[in-house]
Structure 1
Amino acid sequence: MNYELKTKKMTNICVIGAGAWGTAIAKVIADNGNNCLIYAREKEVVENINSRNENELFFSGIKLPKNLKAVNELKDTINCEYFFLVPPAQFMRHTLTELRSYNMRMNAKFIICSKGIENNTLKLMGEVVEEIFPDNDYGILSGPSFAHEVGMKEVTVVSIAARDDELADDVIKFMRSDVFKLQYTNDIISPQIAGSLKNVIAIACGIAKGLKQEENTKAAIITKGYNEIRSLCLALGGKAETLREPAGIGDLFLTCNSEKSRNFTFGYELATQTVKQNNINVIEGVATSISVKQINAKHNVPLPLCKKINDIIEGRAEPKEVLEIL
């Protein structure tokens, strides 16, 4: 199925990944008057979006605009100029490698919307893009944004990070509305570090909840977690001031304070011994904790809280030990 895009705003746009967050991003873009493609691996999702303007599997209860169309083959996206990348972080390389194999536009630009660190290489998602598409510009979209709240048009403020301010301007043009607002930064490092590590810190907060700790304990965890994020950002060339923006403290606060967060809920399940094993692979903080353990050694940046969470996940420590290192 190959859709010819005729956009009102000059640019062909595609979202790669039709989970809740990918669908929410596509809805914001389409609601703003742009025709938009979304790529989904699941054929039932493609059929559901194209025939009923819904994504009942991942984004139920929210009607999608008619100018959002879905495809099941990556090769059907090659005429797009902007790609919003939303695959799980550990599948980013595979997705980009397949995309590279097609005769796509040489000047395509990428907006990374996935949060995580590649386990095998310890690379940030931006570094993976740079490796596979060394001549293409990219940006980072990150911030406090639960997908269904975005879909329900709750007021949301996120960060768009890019070295190229023209790229950022385009993304803002595609997405900005009265209810979805974007703030620009040229620091592409800190949003990636904060967006990754905040999921590990949220697991710690969930553990505290499962141990029947209250708000004081959670505040202590968030404070310690913020300082670890800051230390790693500075070690990798990020800016401390970026962490005061939506992609920093905003994202950390949201993820650590809500049971809507999968990572927070997973931490609670760890502490109460109710973990559903088949759900572990979709918990971003689990994979990130593996990378953090290795980053700790590689860059000599102490990350005791994040490392302790990895020890708990892998059975080398008890959940209560989170409280002992505060």
Structure 2
Amino acid sequence: MQKEIGVIGAGSWGIALAYLLSNNGHNVTVWSRSQASVDKLSAYRGNEDKLPGVKLSDSVKFTCSMEEAVSGKEILVLVVPSTSVRETVRLMAPYMNKEGQDQIIVNCTKGIEESTLMVMSDVILDEIPGATVCVLSGPSHAEEVGKNLPTTIVVGAFSKDTAKVVQNTFMSDVFRVYISPDMLGIEIGAALKNVVALAAGMADGYGLGDNAKAALITRGIAEISRLGMAMGGKFETFAGLSGIGDLVVTCASMHSRNRRAGILIGQGKTYQEAMDEVKMVVEGVYSAKAALKLARQYEVDMPIVQGVNEILFEGKSVGEGIKDLMVREKRNENSQVDW
């Protein structure tokens, strides 16, 4: 069934999802912050800088009016950097749920707000209490979605009915959608995999080889799972698309801005120099501090996350960070087994 959809954010992922949803037969309006940006998007029919080659159909509208993007829409797809979510949702709030309309906000932003340690869905609910919020996540590079390459993701929601509406809206013969009730686990996996991807990129940039990278990915998902389960997430979520699935693709692909930034840091650049060269928001840098704070709050051991923080913000070299991980206290791999 054709739906009225507002895509809030016109970066690479926002444009890729607008492309998918338009191809699925929905009426799509894409919001960007400035008229100059809207003019450029309209002229190219997409984001030439961040997702070159992907052109949206003439039916897709571009606007810098939040009222136009939100009012009357059945589904709002939120695709802005994590540091902009609260500000953007405040702009959306006056136009939400008018005349009794129940609008679904699909959060596609991966991150944790450092000041509050909230996942993005909680930030949305903090600004729009009672909103119908769900989360979409999984191994899904915008560059591949824009080429109609097969992609599989998961939608997490508090309500199964909400999850099914979103599943049916996004599903296509190249975009498979699963559903899950574990919103918290999905968001923790989505945010923390970016921190581990930075570590994996650092290993690549430093020239450590496949053995070290495989260890970082494996032990990284162990850290993510420990924290996520301590917070109330489910083990199956971290073994699924938004856990190990998203972690593998983010650590392995040059499409990953977090991995690319990590490579540059491994080659000796600061995190700011790396972000400037990547020219895109590197969410792992913003999630790293929040992840470490959560680890301490829940008393969960996360040595990779701690090491990434020390390299990013405390001047530790990548070589020192790797050595510290290697010479840690000896222990069993499975901490649940008393042996």
What residue in structure 2 maps to residue 84 of structure 1? 77
Partner Cα distance (1:316, 1:56) in 2: 36
Instruction: Please say if 1:28 is aligned against 2:23.
Output: no
Match of 1:301 in 2: 300
Match of 2:146 among 128, 148, 151: 151
Q: Bigger shift: 280-289 or 34-43?
A: 280-289
What do the CA deviations read for 1:236-295 (whole angstroms, capped 9, x no partner)?
Answer: 111001122211111000001122211111111112124563826821000000111211
Residue 69 (structure 2) pairs with residue 74 (structure 1): no
Alignment-derived partner of residue 99 in structure 1: 92
Residue 183 of structure 2 aligns to a residue whose secondary structure is coil
Question: What does residue 172 of structure 2 align with?
Answer: 177
1:285-321 per-position Cα deviation (integer Å, ceiling 9, x unaligned): 0000011121122221121111110110013421113
Q: Is the 8 A contact 2:38 2:64 kept in 1?
A: yes
Give, in whole Å, the separation in 1 of the partners of 2:266 and 2:45.
40
Which one of the candidate residues 37, 47, 57 is aligned to 1:65? Answer: 57
For 1:305 and 1:140, the matched residues in 2 are separated by: 26
Root-mean-square deviation (Å): 1.7
Give 2:92's aligned amino acid: L
- For 1:277, the equivalent position in structure 2 comes to 273
For residues 174 and 48 of structure 1, do their structure 2 counterparts lie closer, same or farther at Cα, with a shift above 3 Å needed? farther
CA distance in 1, matches of 2:308, 2:77: 30
The residue type equivalent to 2:39 in the other structure is: E
1:165-186 deviation line (CA, Å, top 9, x unaligned): 1211111222111111111111
Helix, strand or coil at the partner of 2:112: coil
SS at match of 1:259: coil
Residue identity matched to 2:300: V
Which AA in structure 1 matches 2:63? V
Q: Give a deviation string over 1:13-56, Cα, whole Å, max 9, x none.
A: 11100000011011111110001111011434422443442321
User: What's the counterpart of residue 208 of structure 1?
Assistant: 203
Q: How does 1:158-237 map to 2 (within 5 A)?
A: 158-237=153-232
SS in structure 2 of the partner of residue 101 of structure 1? helix
CA shift for structure 1 position 200: 0.6
Give the one of 107, 120, 124 matched to 1:125: 120
Q: Which residue of 1 aligns with 2:329?
A: none
Q: Matched residues in 1 for 2:186 and 2:212: separation?
A: 25
Change (3 A) 1:40 1:182: same
Specify every segment of 5 or more residues in structure 2 that has no aligned partner in the other structure, as ranges: 327-339
Preserved CA contact (<8 Å) 2:191 2:284:
yes
Alignment identity in percent?
32
Residue 48 of structure 2 is matched in structure 1 by 56
Distance 1:103 1:173, change over 3 A: closer
The answer to whether the 8 Å contact 2:265/2:274 transfers is no
Secondary structure at the residue paired with 1:311? Answer: helix
Question: Given residue 192 of structure 1, which amino acid in structure 2 is its aligned partner?
Answer: E
Q: Is the 8 A contact 1:17 1:38 kept in 2?
A: yes
For each residue in 1:101-129, what CA deviation from the matched residue of structure 2 results, as whole angstroms up to 9, or x when unmatched?
34653522111100000011010011111
Q: Indicate the residue corresponding to 2:286 in structure 1.
A: 287
Deviation string for 1:174-216 (max 9, x for gaps)? 2111111111111101110111010110110111111111111
* Contact preservation (8 Å) 1:49, 1:64: no
Structure 1, unaligned runs of 5 or more:
1-8
Q: Distance in 2 between matches of 1:200 and 1:116?
A: 10
Q: Closer, same or farther in 2 for the Cα pair 1:37/1:117, shift >3 Å? A: same
Distance apart, 1:63 and its partner CA? 1.6
Q: How many residues align?
A: 318
Partner SS state of residue 76, structure 2: strand
**CA separation in 1, counterparts of 2:72 and 2:58?**
20
Q: In the aligned structure 2, how far is the partner of 1:146 from the partner of 1:103?
A: 29
| Whole-Å separation in 2 of the counterparts to 1:322 and 1:154 | 37
| Deviation, structure 1 residue 10 | 4.8
8 Å Cα contact 2:264/2:274 also seen in 1:
no
Given that 1:119 and 1:288 are in contact with CA atoms closer than 8 Å, whether structure 2 keeps it comes out as: yes
SS at the partner of 2:118?
coil
What secondary structure, in the 3-state scheme, does the structure 2 residue paired with 1:282 have? coil
Give 3-state SS (helix, strand or coil) of 2:179's partner.
Answer: strand
AA partner of residue 118 (structure 1): E
Q: Call closer, same or farther: CA 1:132–1:30 in 2, change over 3 Å.
A: same
